[in-house]
Amino acid sequence: MELICPAGTPASLEAAVEAGADAVYCGFRDETNARNFPGLNFSREELRKGVAFAHRRGVKVLVAINTFARAGAFGLWQEAIDDAVMAGADALILADLATLDYAHRRHPGQRLHVSVQAGAANPDAIRFYAETFGAQRVVLPRVLNVMEIASMVRETSCETEVFVFGGLCVMEEGRCSLSSYATGQSPNMNGVCSPASHVAYAERNGHIVSTLGGFTINSFGKDEPAGYPTLCKGRFATPRGSGYIFEEPVSLDAALMLPALRDAGVTAFKIEGRQRGRAYIAGVVRSFRKILAAIDEGRSPPAVSLAAMAEGQASTVGAYRKGWR
Amino acid sequence: MQLTLGPVLYHWSPERWRDFYYRVADEAQVDAVVVGEAVCSKRAPFKQDYIPAVVERLEAAGKRVLHSSLILISLPRERRQTRELMQSDEAEVEINDLTCLAGLASRPFAVGPFVNVYNEAAAGFLAERGATRICLPPELPLPAVAAISAAVPQLATEVFAFGKVPLAMSARCYHARAHKLTKDNCRFVCEKDPDGMPVKTLDGAGFLSVNGVQILSDSCVSLLSDIPALRRASVASLRLSPQGCDMVAVARLFRDVVDGRIEPEEAERLLGEIYLDVPFSNGFLHGMAGHVHAGAGGGSLGALR
């Protein structure tokens, strides 16, 4: 069982390596990766140094080039692929048919992982990526429960990786334009969701109102902390009543599901959060290392409190639990 | 420039669904019609029995008929439905997920708006495997549309030109959730909202629409005023997505603008009389937020109400 940890900056990469990551994933400082936030990500030089540092400690580096290439500007994505290979990346995480096809032809020996953004949600889709591009691992979209994951793993020879902690998409990844409908900035095209540049807070009638692109996403009373207005976790009104009609402001914590996910045959566990600081990275990675060690030794996992690390006030196991749908 | 009627994305009663297509066959000036269930595999059995008669009627009226695949394919029954559709000899299919490629062998096929084709390289990849036409993702801006149709001329490109725009898919059913039910035990409550369940902001502004496991916009895309620019971008076809309004009249308006019988501005005014109380938008095509309504001159008028 591999533990895959986020690295938004060289400092986070070092923190993740030192805290016991088996692999870290990161991206270049541009629109080629799905965490294209100000102040984050790696220059070419930083990636080369980061790979060298990680490899000295026996840790792998996976490079996410997982947005969809802009028409007429495919060169930017091709360069990112070439430079990641040159820097010694152990795998590339790709979502677009165009980037997968290019990487497979241009760098035939390079290990390729299918990004969660590709939304490969069944064994036939996984087989397509494995046979067409030689993909060796697929990161599963968060639409499946553990039993479904187990039956998928049995049907394919491709490795699988699942998210176990951090931000939680409630829509199928790679097929969501909610953010660009409100702001013009989308995960697929720009590598951002509900971008801070389009967020505003205002006080109205004693409530703090949060908006995204001019649309009210939530309204908080005096006793409620004003959370970040991620579009799919806002409060809205329908003829059936008002509230969190898509999902509450929760984040994913599947720590308790790890034994079941391991038994399902999952190869790697992934922690979300390239936008988080090194303290978060170090804390979460260390906690998961402890849990995995206990599972490996057949002990029951220690009760580690990750609540302080969760982005929202509460956590969920999301689609892994039957009935979430 | 051709017109394509996309699949009905909402859960209409089987009889309403059938009669809608009968009328389209007899009256609508569209060149192609996409039938089948794209959104929720639980809905598929309801229309199954009517599909042969609908297809026969449409084909007898000279329309090209395409069969839509599902968008999100994860459960065993969804894989089975997909395999059966891909292996059926008679149907020309529109794939909405790459899962379908595995079952198609070397047959030609159409690509629906839910396959992520954002650039000429991805379009070329699909064309090499037998794609003959492609409806591009609704969030693509015009320069991307133009670049793709120029680079892959063998592929007939289509854009999403009318209808509430599909924005997201989920494993979770938001109609069921709103009715305090689960997806497995949903009682098909989505049938109560044949034009989607409105989702407003807490201050009452129209924002989104829920269609079971799918989220659509509240505003309705209208690319009527963009038709000249789309023609310059070599777009071969406009997709009209069925809404709870007179789609025969909508198709006639688009036909009139394409054929130069009505000015786009006048057509958009008339469109407001066909689909009442719904704001129009075209922001995605103009590289802006999707809800924005940009005039022909590129100026923007927010669809925020």
Cα–Cα distance, B64 to B213 (Å, whole number): 29
A238 and B200 in contact by Cβ < 8 A?
yes
A170 and B287 in contact by Cβ < 8 A?
no
Tell me if chain B has a CB within 8 Å of the CB of A135: no
- Residue among A124, A188, A179 nearest B85 (CA): A124
Predicted local distance difference test score (pLDDT) of residue A307: 66
- How many C-beta neighbours within 10 Å does residue B77 have? 12
Cα–Cα distance, B3 to B5 (Å, whole number): 7
- Residue among B247, B269, B298 nearest B19 (CA): B247
| Average pLDDT of every residue of chain A | 93
**Per-residue CA distances from B66 to B149, B214, B270 (Å):** 21, 21, 29
Predicted local distance difference test score (pLDDT) of residue B268: 94
Q: What is the pLDDT of residues A136-193, one digit of tens each?
A: 999 999 889 999 999 999 999 999 999 999 988 899 999 999 999 999 999 999 999 9
CB-CB: which of A127, A175, A213 is closest to B102? A127
Q: Which of A97, A102, A148, A250 to mutate to test the interface with B (most CBs of B within 10 A)?
A: A97
Q: What is the pLDDT of residues A228-260, one digit of tens each?
A: 999 999 999 999 999 999 999 989 999 989 999
Taking the CA of residue B178 and the nearest CA in chain A, the distance in Å comes to 6
Contact, A136 vs A157, CB < 8 A?
no
Q: pLDDT-derived band of residue A311, with 50, 70 and 90 as boundaries?
A: low
Q: Which of A68, A160, A168, A175 to mutate to test the interface with B (most CBs of B within 10 A)?
A: A175
B72 and A175 in contact by Cβ < 8 A?
yes
A236 and B98 in contact by Cβ < 8 A?
no
Q: pLDDT-derived band of residue A315, with 50, 70 and 90 as boundaries?
A: confident
Q: What is the pLDDT of residues A15-36, one digit of tens each?
A: 999 999 999 999 999 999 888 8
* Tokens 């541009």 found at: A30
Predicted local distance difference test score (pLDDT) of residue B296: 54
Q: What is the pLDDT of residues A255-307, one digit of tens each?
A: 989 999 999 999 999 999 988 999 999 999 999 999 999 998 988 877 766 76
Nearest-10 crossing angle of helices B120-128, B142-151: 40
Predicted local distance difference test score (pLDDT) of residue A308: 64
Cα–Cα distance, A24 to A91 (Å, whole number): 10
Cβ within 8 Å of B, A 9-38? none
B126 and A175 in contact by Cβ < 8 A?
no
CB-CB: which of A70, A128, A219 is closest to B202? A219
Tell me if chain B has a CB within 8 Å of the CB of A316: no
Predicted local distance difference test score (pLDDT) of residue A305: 65
Predicted local distance difference test score (pLDDT) of residue B105: 77
Taking the CA of residue B26 and the nearest CA in chain A, the distance in Å comes to 35
- The two structure tokens encoding residue B151: 């680079």
Q: Which residues of chain B have pLDDT under 50?
A: 297-305
A124 and B148 in contact by Cβ < 8 A?
no
Question: What is the ipTM for the molecules in this complex?
Answer: 0.95
B82 and A124 in contact by Cβ < 8 A?
yes
B72 and A235 in contact by Cβ < 8 A?
no
Beta strands in chain B (DSSP E): 2-5, 32-35, 64-68, 92-95, 109-111, 131-135, 156-169, 197-200, 206-211, 214-222, 237-240, 280-281, 293-294, 300-301
Task: Tell me, yes or no, if the pTM score tops 0.90.
Answer: yes
Cα–Cα distance, B271 to B278 (Å, whole number): 10
Cα–Cα distance, B156 to B108 (Å, whole number): 13
